[in-house]
Structure 1
Amino acid sequence: MDLFDDLPEPTQTSVAPPVQDEEDRRFKRRRDDEEEEEEEEKDEIKKVCREGLPRLRGYAAARRGERDEMQDAHVLMPDMSSCLSSLPGHVSRVSYFAVFDGHGGARASRFAAENLHLNLAKKFPSGDAENLDKLLKKCLLDTFRQTDEDFLKKASSQKPAWKDGSTATCVLVVDDTVYAANLGDSRAVLCRTEAAAADGQRKSVTLALSKEHNPTIYEERMRIQRAGGTVRDGRVLGVLEVSRSIGDGQYKRCGVISTPDVRRCQLTANDRFILLACDGLFKVFSADEAVKFVLSVLQEASVEQKDELTEEELRFEAACQQLASEAVRRGCADNVTVILVSVCH
């Protein structure tokens, strides 16, 4: 093979006059300047896009409750771009937030927290992706399946085999579009304010971003029974509280699956925050009550000042911590993990 195959053939053998060299250099400089300007223009366009997006910041609080071990795990990635090899052409930002509620041990929840976003990054659409919405939904479905398969492979290779399982509730924000994917009974909700009522007060609305999966729901129970499993006392085989999960290898033959529900939602100027939490919170709070509790803390007059945080950030941090503590105070004996994602315009 000729080492110079990919070099252009010379057009002439004689040495070009110096004036031609000078012209070539001027042309090359002009072309380089034009390319540089084009790159700067692209960066500027992307910067304008980024500046028009809502600012997202994540806050997390975790309480062990009365359990011997903390089996929850969580991930906050307001900017996930460092994990991605490239972004689709018109996308400026990707954010990722997730909560995992383990059962039978903490290994499945920790594994999912460490690996699910990495699998997502590998499968993430790139280039000038057509029909990005469809591709992202497929990407999330494939990511959950891959993470489950990888954990089950690792779990079955242990002696004795691991029997851990975990719920998973993930929120992926691509520019200003939210994709929520979940398994099990951890939940995600969005707080949106509506136009002012007759009395001038703005009303907050709680929008569900996730769907609960437990064996008492008709479709879930039917799938489990068709697979040869049974539902007793609201549990799979009278033991497992959820009908979809990562891990739980011993229940996969009974119809417990790792296919998430995926929902899409466009962020608006009226959105205040996204709340993700495990069922420990929702055992003692309804979704509406949790949202109202957060809003009440955000409206409190005084917050303790810290140099590195703005007043708005301090309020969200306080709301997140107080919500988790209040769940324990109300008698939740389970682990409690809360993630609050502020949406600032």
Structure 2
Amino acid sequence: MDLFDDLPEPKQTPVPVSAQQKSTREEEEEVKEEEEKSLKRKREDAECHADKKEEEEEEKEEIKKVCREGLPVLRGYVAARRGEREEMQDDHVMLPDMSSCMSALPCQVSRVSYFAVFDGHGGARASRFAAEHLHHNLAKKFPSGETENLDKLVKKCLLDTFRQTDEDFLRKASSQKPVWKDGSTATCVLVVDDMVYVANLGDSRAVLCRMEATAGGGGGGVGGQRKVVTLALSKEHNPTIYEERMRIQRAGGTVRDGRVLGVLEVSRSIGDGQYKRCGVISTPDLRRCQLTANDRFIILACDGLFKVFSADEAVKFVLNVLQEGSVEKRSGVTEEEVRFEAACQQLASEAVRRGCADNVTVILVSIGF
């Protein structure tokens, strides 16, 4: 016997929706409506947050833009001469705006510029390696975000960068057959907004030309009102300097004829793996200088220039070219740029004319406010 025989057959006519069913459907619609409202509010909040973040970023950029307007305008010019050498062993890098190499800058910094010369010896591989890698290592180690004591961090960054670049090159050099014995000096000018940091190894040099007002506007001034001051921004490292010689001797090395082991002319360098155990190091000297409206230019050059020019002579030579009467006009180039380019090229050529047989590389950095 079927237990469900007594149940009536379902009717085909539509059954009216009960009040309770209506109530349930309305509740579902209300819940759905609330969810849609909630999603809409979240979208609006997210858009509002994004707009606010965008406004904050724009505000930061605006602040940096205002700061940037008061910064010195730097332009780099380079001249290189092989001299009587069979091979050009110098290298150089000019990055008036280094931000493209960096993931982020410190919040208080608007611009970082980098100029460097590398004077190779024993081959061109160490100078080329340093030119290719040192600024990338610097960019990776450079402080970013909110920072305190930026000066200390930048100096640490430079020290770490030189050590890293030297270690990387020595590792590569020692893996070659035969082992590379190349070495290189390094003089780097890093400009953070209006603060110049100079890190150098060896005997390449950096000097700054500053025009200072004279008392009463007379005596020795340019045009009777300003005098030329040459500021050394770097320190030479050769084995004849007392501190350098003592370090070399403590490490078991000797200095003969003014050279390490009678061979190497510099006491600090990148590379030179065979001399590292004799006290030759890659720790740079660091100097700092704030740029002012009185500053005209920086000369950054290998020792090929300074073998035949004193720092003062080089600065005055450049000033004379800048003050010459007529210049050849070129489309899309300002008269000042033409003058600086000419000064840079003529300075390098004059070094060769004066009898410098070495490679000569000169970077001239113009400073304008």
The TM-score range, normalised by the shorter chain, is: over 0.9
User: Distance between the aligned counterparts of 1:113 and 1:239, measured in 2?
Assistant: 24
Residues 1:82 and 2:92 are matched in the alignment? no
Extract unaligned runs of 5+ from structure 2: 1-29, 219-223
Pairing partner for 1:46 from 58, 61, 64:
64
Residues 1:128 and 2:152 are matched in the alignment? no
User: Distance between the aligned counterparts of 1:36 and 1:68, measured in 2?
Assistant: 57
**Partner deviation per Cα, 1:187-238 (whole Å, 9 max, x = no partner):** 0011111014432321110111100000000000000011111111100011
> Corresponding residue for 1:207?
231
For 1:213-224, list aligned pairs within 5 A.
213-224=237-248
> Corresponding residue for 1:327?
351
> Corresponding residue for 1:66?
84
Pairing partner for 1:106 from 102, 119, 124:
124
Pair 1:257–1:20, CA change in 2 (3 A): closer
> Corresponding residue for 1:94?
112
Pair 1:15–1:210, CA change in 2 (3 A): same
Pair 1:247–1:196, CA change in 2 (3 A): same
For 1:1-345, list aligned pairs within 5 A.
15-16=33-34, 30-198=48-216, 199=218, 200-345=224-369
Which has the higher mean CA deviation after the structures are superposed, 233-242 or 192-201? Answer: 192-201
Distance apart, 1:41 and its partner CA: 1.8
Cα RMSD, aligned residues only: 1.7
Aligned residues: 334
* SS of corresponding position for 1:143: helix
User: Distance between the aligned counterparts of 2:37 and 2:89, measured in 1?
Assistant: 75
User: Distance between the aligned counterparts of 2:143 and 2:299, measured in 1?
Assistant: 26
User: Distance between the aligned counterparts of 1:129 and 1:266, measured in 2?
Assistant: 20
**Partner deviation per Cα, 1:104-153 (whole Å, 9 max, x = no partner):** 11110000000000111111111111111111111101111111111111
* SS of corresponding position for 2:308: coil
TM-score (norm 1): 0.93
User: Distance between the aligned counterparts of 1:17 and 1:163, measured in 2?
Assistant: 73
Contact 1:125–1:136 (8 Å) recurs in 2 = yes
Q: Answer with 1 or 2: which has the greater Rg.
A: 2
* SS of corresponding position for 2:277: helix
Which has the higher mean CA deviation after the structures are superposed, 27-36 or 58-67? Answer: 27-36
User: Distance between the aligned counterparts of 2:286 and 2:327, measured in 1?
Assistant: 37
> Corresponding residue for 2:18?
none
User: Distance between the aligned counterparts of 1:125 and 1:24, measured in 2?
Assistant: 36
Which has the higher mean CA deviation after the structures are superposed, 188-197 or 29-38? Answer: 29-38
**Partner deviation per Cα, 1:42-91 (whole Å, 9 max, x = no partner):** 21111111111000111000000111110000000000001001101110
Q: Which amino acid aligns with 1:218?
A: Y
* SS of corresponding position for 2:226: coil
Contact 1:97–1:170 (8 Å) recurs in 2 = yes
Contact 1:197–1:203 (8 Å) recurs in 2 = no
User: Distance between the aligned counterparts of 2:238 and 2:338, measured in 1?
Assistant: 36
Q: Percent identity?
A: 82
User: Distance between the aligned counterparts of 1:116 and 1:28, measured in 2?
Assistant: 42
**Partner deviation per Cα, 1:229-273 (whole Å, 9 max, x = no partner):** 111110001110000000111111110000000111111111111
Which has the higher mean CA deviation after the structures are superposed, 12-21 or 162-171? Answer: 12-21
Extract unaligned runs of 5+ from structure 1: 1-11
User: Distance between the aligned counterparts of 1:13 and 1:288, measured in 2?
Assistant: 84
User: Distance between the aligned counterparts of 1:62 and 1:118, measured in 2?
Assistant: 23
Which has the higher mean CA deviation after the structures are superposed, 188-197 or 33-42? Answer: 33-42
Pair 1:203–1:128, CA change in 2 (3 A): same
* SS of corresponding position for 1:59: strand
